[in-house]
Structure 1
Amino acid sequence: MPANSFSLLSTEPSSSGVVTLIWNELCAEAVAAVEIDSAVTRSMNSAVLYHASFAQALAHRIALKLASPELDQDELLALICQTFLNEPGILAKAAADLVAVKERDPSNSETLTPFLYFKGFLALQGQRIAHWMWNNGRVHLARHIQSRISEVFGVDIHPAAQMGKGIMLDHGSGLVIGETAVVEDNVSILQNVTLGGTGKETGDRHPKIRQGALIGAGAKILGNIEIGIGAKVGAGSVVVTPVADYTSVVGVPARPVGSTHATMPGLTMDQTLYEPEYII
């Protein structure tokens, strides 16, 4: 690793206030964890407290998780550091993702827990790095990172997929997102979801998930179709036609249920579908 690539991140490259807030929370929660249980001292020091910035801590965490004999931790860390220095906006998106998990996941009230352990969060940050590499001509490195994310976390997001900020990939297991998919800001997606194509067609062939949508567990959304702003897709549904804004759909094939709503379920995590027999 170039001697200064990691040290350059000691000064936070992102000017986002959310990054500063998240970093302060991570440090405070890591200190509190050590005070409660000294057995976690080494892990908290390694993951958070020995670092000078959110950028350093996140780069270290991803490199630790995705290292392999083919691309060891130091080599991968250098690549991640270079990516953050070239595109500090990735850090602001990662911080927004942590806020999303803290606010939306009823099983978690911390910033530290998803940063350390939640595979949906960690997989998404790895994809952000692979996406930058894909767009800058480093296709095989991007493919390598995609493969490692799939192996380690059970999440397969193509490096070319466009992912917004404030995204929660709840559990993450079994998630597949295709090459030309778009997932906008403030979307929540549960486990075993597929945003896929419909066959061997080429070109723009994957779904577009608009802001504030909520995609239930096991849903399959296929083809170049739009899932509208604030839409809900029920668990196990197969969606092959567009879903209008603020509309709930369920079934195989999916059909609208109930009346339209005026909220962003991707933020509220309201999983009711406005008909008593259905729930996401």
Structure 2
Amino acid sequence: MAEPKSKIARVDPVWDEITRDAHQAVRDEPLMGGLIHACILHHRSLDRALSYRFAAKLSSNEMSMVILREIADQAFEADLSLVESARADLVAIYERDPACHRLLQPVLYFKGFQAVQAYRVAHWLWQQGRHDLAYFVQMRVSELYSIDIHPAATVGKGIMIDHAHSIVIGETASVGDNVSLLHSVTLGGTGKEDGDRHPKIGNGVLIGAGAKVLGNITVGHCSRVAAGSVVLQDVPPCKTVAGVPARIVGEAGCDQPSVKMDQMFHGK
């Protein structure tokens, strides 16, 4: 059956760039041809490629690739925001990570990007009341990528998780748009309390490596959390906090810390 004209006519410059990158990568390294064709060039759109990558990576003896592919396809077809968020994440990584030279790289190699896209499918399942499947996806993402994002958490678009090792985002946490997190960041609780117990991260925030933000607190938009800090209290917008426990040490230094990715404190 032919696809609806609206889908055929849809323009996606991000996907076009990825496919160009893929063709060039095969020319540069023919031994990668099988992987790149399977993950990119055999698909007609970004959502189809993401669905395949999700299923191929998360499948195991416990859950087949066929079943996981059906789940992901259903999610992407039901919620167009999933692929819109993926595009924003790809562009964010390309613009902020100096190790990313092509849009193809996150789709194939960057576990932070792949884990966030798997979380997005799990979150969609959670919203549909399919909690056990959502938990399964969370478990597999944690096993594969060492990233633990509860499917009930809310995560915006334009997210970059650099290096992406040992990331924890709790059940009632929320992360705004255009946020950058480095490795070993925890958005967690402070004990065994129930209910709303995790941090709320505003838009444009930069959280440095190893930082812990704990409790039902707010980190205001366009703020910076220094590497290794332990944040236990609200952070006002556009500030830099550092230390254990963290305190305000200055202004954020720019209007978009998560984009500039400047982790240095330029004190007087």
Q: TM-score if structure 1 supplies the norm length?
A: 0.91
| Runs of at least 5 residues in structure 2 that lack an aligned partner in the other structure | none
Q: Give distance in 2, aligned partners of 1:9 and 1:148.
A: 34
Are 1:132 and 2:111 an aligned pair? no
Measured in 2, the distance between the counterparts of 1:114 and 1:85 equals: 22
Secondary structure of residue in 2 paired with 1:245: coil
How big is the shift at 1:274? 2.2
CA deviation profile, 1:225-275 (whole Å, cap 9, x unmatched) = 011111000111000001111100110000111345341111111112223
Residues 144 and 260 (structure 1 numbering): CA distance in 2 closer, same or farther, change over 3 Å?
closer
Matches within 5 A, 1:58-137: 58-137=50-129
Q: Cα deviation per residue 1:178-202 (whole Å; 9 max; x = unaligned)? A: 0010000000000000000011111
Q: In 2, distance between residues paired with 1:89 and 1:97?
A: 12
Does 1:225 find its partner at 2:214? no
Equivalent in the alignment of 1:254: 246
SS in structure 2 of the partner of residue 93 of structure 1: helix
Letter in 2 for 1:163: V
Aligned to 2:43: 51
- Name the CA distance, whole Å, in 1 between partners of 2:9 and 2:163: 28
Q: Distance in 1 between matches of 2:132 and 2:5?
A: 29
Q: Which residue of 1 aligns with 2:200?
A: 208
| 1:32-43 map, 5 Å | 32-43=24-35
Tell me the amino acid that sits aligned with residue 39 of structure 2: A
Contact 1:10 1:56 (C-alpha < 8 Å) held by counterparts: no
Question: Counterpart amino acid of 1:175?
Answer: I
Closer, same or farther in 2 for the Cα pair 1:54/1:196, shift >3 Å? same
Change over 3 Å in CA distance of 1:33–1:256 after alignment to 2: same
Closer, same or farther: CA 142–263 of 1 in aligned 2, 3 Å:
same
Aligned residue number for residue 160 of structure 1: 152
Contact 1:14 1:92 in 2 (8 A): no
Q: What's the TM-score once normalised by structure 2's chain length?
A: 0.95
Number of aligned residue pairs:
268
AA aligned to 1:158 is H
SS in 1 for 2:187: strand
Q: Residue 9 of structure 1 contacts residue 81 of structure 1 at CA under 8 Å; is this kept in 2?
A: no
Q: Percent identity?
A: 47
For 2:5 and 2:230, how far apart are their aligned partners in 1?
46
Q: What SS does the aligned partner of 2:152 have?
A: coil
* Structure 1 unaligned blocks of 5 or more: none
**C-alpha distance 82-251 of structure 1, shift in aligned 2 (>3 A):** same
- Aligned to 2:94, the other structure's residue is in SS state helix
Deviations 1:154-197 (A, max 9, x none): 00000000000000011111000000100000000000000000
Residue by residue, what CA displacement relative to the aligned partner does 1:203-228 show, whole Å, maximum 9, x if unpaired?
Answer: 11100110000000000000010111
Q: d(CA) in 2 for partners of 1:191 and 1:24?
A: 30
- In structure 2, distance between residues paired with 1:10 and 1:218: 48
Q: Does 1:198 align with 2:187?
A: no
Change (3 A) 1:165 1:260: closer
- Could you say which residue in structure 1 is the equivalent of 2:263? 271
Matches of 1:9 and 1:102, distance apart in 2: 31
| Residue identity opposite 2:38 in structure 1 | S
Which is further off, 185-194 or 32-41?
A: 32-41
